[in-house]
Structure 1
Amino acid sequence: MKKLLLIFLTVLNSAVYAQIAVPKSANDIAPLLIGEKIPNVILKTSENKDADISELLKKKNTVFVFYRGGWCPYCNMHLQALAEAEKQIIDLGYQIIAVSPDSPENLKVTEEKDKVKYTLISDAGGTLINAVGISYQAPENYKEIIRKHSNGINNSLLPVPSVFVVNTQGDILFEYISPNIKQRISTELLIAVLKNLK
């Protein structure tokens, strides 16, 4: 009987998630709020190894970045700026983890191109991007590049570029989310926020 109930609940849960429509526009997202928890999922590292998000977050307070992909020039500028500020961020007691729909192989390209030493994570299937509530339907002209960079796993969704500051329990302490892909949090403002949260 317990097995039957567990199977029923799993199917019901899957059906509920399947019915949650991905917003059509970056302006229509419903992200998690300050005080809520980052959901635990298993994703992939640039080495194509499992990345247990809750285990990664337990290591240190985290600057958790979601970006569109290594193909996006605005994302690359943001990743480079974070790389330049990484020592300051580490000195304040934080690690940086950046998540995109890119495949592990394409994360490697981004690491080399943007001189990134912090952790890049692949969410090619959009599991965490959807769970955090920052996914939206990619415009038609982006679908081919998304499909290519996710190795065919994703061709329909993008994350709104976002930065979450998260504690070791996964609680969101601060967030910066901008549907305008050209607008990112400056490293100066981010550093000020991190200092204020200490």
Structure 2
Amino acid sequence: MKKIICLVLFAIGLSVHAQNNLPKLATEIAPLLIGEKIPNVTLTSVENTDVNVTELISKKRTVLVFYRGGWCPYCNAHLAALGEAEKELLDLGYQIIAISPDAPKSLKVTDDKEKLNYLLLSDSTGELSRAVGIAFQAPENYKAIITKGSEGVNSSFLPVPAVFILNTNAEIEFEHITPNFKNRISNDLLIAVAKSLNK
């Protein structure tokens, strides 16, 4: 019994330690920089299947988007705007991948609601958000909603909304990171950058 109690306390300690390792504020993050590579992780699709991120990126240039969750109206507006820019980005040879802490079921709700054609992936454990350096400690008033969106997997972090443009080697060629979650990159700027990188 003592062993079980010790293991439970150890697991709680690890969880608290992991949260404490994250920046407290969105303005304190230290994201990967242009020229650095997105790490190789496996995420989960809307259909609840494993997706290797590096393998996916290796197929074509990628607009990689991190958003807070389908519960966030600013994120939903941004996802819908990306849908409007999708054809032009596809014509330029890009694919769009959007990632959030939401569980696959919650991703499906967002996908159906916004009628998105591009790929949504679940990073409920925060493995990729943390590795990219955009995860921070979720404020107390968000914990219930992110726990629900991730089906209990995440109760501790939020990603700062971010857009990365990557080459097929998963190297960052452009990034737009917005600690103020109400501000997002415009389609005009995104397309202009995509065009300039495509030359």
Structure 2 length-normalised TM:
0.90
> In structure 1, the residue corresponding to 2:43 is in which secondary structure?
strand
Whole-Å separation in 1 of the counterparts to 2:169 and 2:101: 24
Structure 2: distance between partners of 1:114 and 1:136: 27
In 2, the alpha carbon distance for the partners of 1:117 and 1:149 equals 21
Q: Which residue is equivalent to 1:57?
A: 57
Q: Any conservation in 1 of the 2:135–2:158 contact (CA below 8 Å)?
A: yes
* 3-state SS of 1:59 partner: coil
> Within 5 Å, which residues of 2 pair with 1:171-186?
171-186=171-186
Q: CA deviation at 1:157?
A: 0.2
Which residue number in structure 1 is paired with residue 135 of structure 2?
Answer: 135
Q: Which residue of 1 aligns with 2:31?
A: 31
Q: Is the 8 A contact 2:101 2:122 kept in 1?
A: yes
Partner of 1:84: 84
Shift of 1:180: 0.4
1:41 matches 2:41: yes
Instruction: State the one-letter code of the partner of 1:89.
Output: L
Structure 1 segments unaligned to the other structure (5+ residues): 1-13
Letter in 2 for 1:47: E
Specify the alignment match of 1:108 in structure 2: 108
Instruction: Name the CA distance, whole Å, in 2 between partners of 1:127 and 1:87.
Output: 30
Question: Deviating runs (4+, > 2 A) in structure 1?
Answer: 17-20
How many aligned positions are there? 183
Q: Give the residue type in structure 2 aligned to 1:187.
A: N
Q: Separation in 1 of the partners of 2:18 and 2:60?
A: 33
Within a 5 Å distance, the mapping from 1:92-171 to structure 2 comes to 92-171=92-171
Unpaired runs of 5+ residues, structure 2, are: 1-13
- Matched-pair contact (CA < 8 Å) for 2:37–2:171: yes
Q: Percent identity?
A: 63
